[in-house]
Structures are given as structure tokens and as C-alpha cells.
Amino acid sequence: MASQQNEERIFNNTFKGAQPTRLNACVGNNGNPQQPEYAQGFIDASLSLCKLVVEDTSCLVDHYIYPIAFSMRHGVELWIKYFITQLVPIRSEIPVDTINLTATHDINILWREFKNYAHLKDSRFVDITDRLDEYINNIGEIDPTAQTFRYPFSNESIKHLTKTPIINIRNLGSRLVGLKDLIDELRSLIYYLIEEYETGSYTSKLSRAQLFEMANALPPKEEWANESFKEIRENIKQQFALASNKDCIKAIDIIKLHYEMAPLINVLIPLKAATYIDLSSFLTHWSVFHPEREEAPLGTSIFEFSPVFDSESNRLEAEALDNVTQELSIEVLADIAALYEFGRLAQFSEDYELKYKARLDEVRLIRGDKAKVSEFINHYLEKTNFNYCLCRSLKRLNQDEVIEALANDNSNFNKAVEKCLK
């Protein structure tokens, strides 16, 4: 095996691991670096060189400018190419050509392509691309095709930078810091929008964020039967540039059934299966697994004192587990599991519905196996953070009445509410 590994790897006196190990860089499949790591590496290297030149007067400014500017420019090119590929899952019905990305190094063409696709995908890209425009255009004006800082002459034997004879490295570094911040902001926006569009809560005309805006503009649902609603609807169509009633109805249909948007029109969506009574029952049994702990008397071993090793405690837990199995349906059990898991992250309410479906499929598969069902329930009864996660999920799903009722009935849940709502 060792000889096989040696055959698969190529090391020489220049490129190899050595001491100290903290300076051994992980490349290739070792750490699996991708384009973001390459792009960030070039930009960070450029910033580090700027810092070195500014602080160390022995550095020859006229020499360092080339690796500094080239690394900055190459890092930006890599980021733009990467960002174009990351647009694909955002409104996936709008195609993005990623095949020809390697065919050009022209940063002006790449930036123009990115903006065209991004603005088609979501209007929230406009602000960040407007702020990035000056930085990218500055680079494209001086070094459009990655030749200017690599070679002194062009392919046509024309000397580079004759019209830009001075470049201040302190200023360049300052600009690069601002550029890096904007790139980080754009990257965060793209990652967020990928997750947002995965929820499916959008139409061909409106994003999820715009649906929230529409929900805020709509009157309470009980007023929709009034004659005045027709005028309100027409105004909303104009506000969101919707050409037809069909586009408006599609948007409203999503709003009416959405855990976060529906309350904005005075509609509350109930949980998938669990009721207040079901949750109260589960929390009562959960409390058996997590009793108030007394402090061990001085000189007493924790192993002698702890209820974990108390047979009576074990009996009560087994009884509580059996009661949950008897009292709650598989749909409710799946909902309780989904609420806990959703509460751990609680980003998009659509995640709750996906988790419910997944847990329901899981429980249905094991419903005939009592031991597996008990193991499923026990997993959540043992969770010390169950109350906190439940509160987070109920809050995100706008179940305020359920939260209030549970807090009034259960002291443990009330403590979690105080922590959750801080």
C-alpha cells in the first residue's frame, strides 16, 4: 500500500513537505481546495505584499508592484468566474452559460456577463454590483486580459503601462481592502440567495423578498371581499410590475399558505400535525428525563447520588417513553421531531415543512417496529435543548398562542422562552 501511495504522488526537492509542519500547505485532494481558496489566496497574498512593502523600506517598490497587482487582478478574475457558476441554482429556470468561462481572461467581458445574469436572477444584486463597478472597471481599464503586470510588452510588442507611469502601493492596498470587503459581501449574498431559492417560495416575476413586500402591502384577508380590494390589487400589480391577474394570483396563493407571510394578512397557519395538547403532553414526559437536580451532599460521590443510577429514575423514564408511544400519533411524533430540528437553525420556515415530510417518511417506515419507534422517541426525549429549540421553531412559525399556553403550563418551557426571546 505504501509503495502504491508513493507511485501516485509526485514530490521533489522543491515541492515537498518539510519542517515545521505548520508551514506545509494542503493542496490537491489534501483539503480539497476549490476556486474560492485560489481566489482568496491571490488576494490575500497581494494584501500581504502591500503590507510588507509599506512597512519594510528595503523592499524595492518598482519590483513588488508586478506580483502585487497581478495577484490582485487574478484573484478578482477567479472570483468573478466562480460567482457566475454560483448563479446557476438561483432561479434555475434562467440558464447561465458556464461552459465558455475558461475561454477568456477579459475581466470586462466576465464582469459584464456576471452583471447581466445576476440582474436577471434577482434585483438584490443591483446594489452590490453598482458598488463594485468602479473597482472592477479600474482593473479592466489598466489590465483587461491579465497581460499588463505579467509581461513588460504585449503580444504586439507594445510596452505596457506607458500611460500609467506611477502606481502608489499604499493606495493600491487601501483600495484592495475595500474591494475585498465588497467581494465578501457579494459572496454572502449569493450563498444566501441560493438557500432562499431552494425554498421554492417565488414566482416567475417575484422573489421571496418581494412576496414579503406584497404581503405587507395587502390588507387583512377578511377585507378582500370588500369592493375596495379591487383597487388595492390593481395598485399592487403596478407596484410590482405584474402584467396580469394570473401573476398576482400566483403570488397571493403562496402568501396565503406561508408560515411567515400569511400572518401579515392576518392568517395563521397551524402546525403540520401537533397541537398545543400534544406538545404539552410531550413536554410533561420530557421533564421526567430532565428532573430538577439537587446538589450532592458534601462527601457524597456523584455516582452514588445521581438519579441517573437510580432504578426508580430508570423506571419513570421507561414509563414516560411508553406513555408518549401510546398518546401521540406517528404524525405528531414526526412533527415534534421536525420542530426540534427546525429550531436548531430556524432560517426559512419552508425548512420546517421539508423536515416534517422527511421525519414522517422515516416514522412510517418503522411504525410496525415498537423498538425502533421507542428509539426514535427516546432520541428527542433525551435532548437537553429540546425546549429551547421548540420555542425557536414555534416563534419562527408565528405560533405565539401556543408558546404562551405552553409557557403558562410548563416551568421548564417558560425558562426556555425567556432565553429564546432575549
Residue pLDDT, tens place only, 27-73: 999 999 999 999 999 999 999 999 999 999 999 999 999 999 999 99
Pick the closest to residue 155 from 163, 164, 145, 165 (CA basis). Answer: 145
Set of cell numbers at residue 393: 421553531
pLDDT for 355-393, tens place per residue?
999 999 999 999 999 999 999 999 999 999 999 999 999
d(CA 252, CA 261): 10
**Is 310's pLDDT higher than 90?**
no
Report CA 402 to chain centroid distance, whole Å.
28
Evaluate if residue 205 carries a pLDDT over 70.
Answer: yes
Nearest to 189 by CA among 134, 118, 116: 118
For the question of whether the overall pTM of this predicted structure is more than 0.95, the answer is no
Q: Give the whole-angstrom CA distance, residue 417 versus residue 343.
A: 13
pLDDT of residue 100: 84
Can you tell me the distance from the alpha carbon of 79 to that of 420, in angstroms, rounded to the nearest whole number?
38
Chain center to CA of 400: 26
Least confident of 10-24, 154-168, 242-256, 292-306: 292-306
Average pLDDT estimate for 121-141: 98
Tell me the pLDDT of the chain averaged across its residues.
Answer: 93
What tens digit of pLDDT does each residue of 323-335 get?
999 999 999 999 9
User: Each residue of 311-324: pLDDT tens digit?
Assistant: 788 899 999 999 99
